[in-house]
Structure 1
């Protein structure tokens, strides 16, 4: 197996995903941006491995992260109790 088969994109995707989860766990919105970078990296790995499932899953995850950024950017509505 060629060590450069995925050009390190798989390692980059893994590191970005772990960092993103760590940041989101710390309630830091930057985690969603890191996860989007991780998703695009995983899409690249999916392309290199001809894995349509990996590509589709990470496009959906990417869209969910964009949704999270939008929702976290809106000020919280005050409930009238």
Structure 2
């Protein structure tokens, strides 16, 4: 049995916390999930599971996209608003 020094437990807690935050419509869920993705990626490298590495790097990029696209709308001020 391989010991990941608690990194697997941290990744799990981050992932569940992120899902909870996203369920509550908190944008911070994306940031927490990105941290979890990096933990899972490290575990994948450690375990020589390249599928896990690629999957979590892909998930990381999707979470970056979600964080950017879920940004609060800004109100434009200008002549068209009058």
For Structure 1 versus Structure 2, the TM-score category normalised by the shorter chain is 0.7 to 0.9
Select 1:32's aligned residue among 30, 46, 51. Answer: 30
How many residues of Structure 1 are paired with residues of Structure 2 in the alignment? Answer: 74
- What is the aligned partner in structure 1 of residue 43 from structure 2? 45
Q: Partner residue of 1:22?
A: 20
Q: Which runs of 5+ in 2 are unaligned?
A: 75-82
CA distance in 1, matches of 2:40, 2:67: 20
Superposition CA RMSD, Å: 1.3
Write the deviation string for residues 29-80 of structure 1: whole angstroms up to 9, x where unpaired: 010000000000000110110000000000000000000011011528xxxx
TM-score (norm 1): 0.86
What TM-score does the superposition give when structure 2 sets the normalisation length?
A: 0.85
Give unpaired runs (5+ residues) of structure 1. 77-81
- Cα distance in structure 2, aligned partners of 1:74 and 1:19: 21
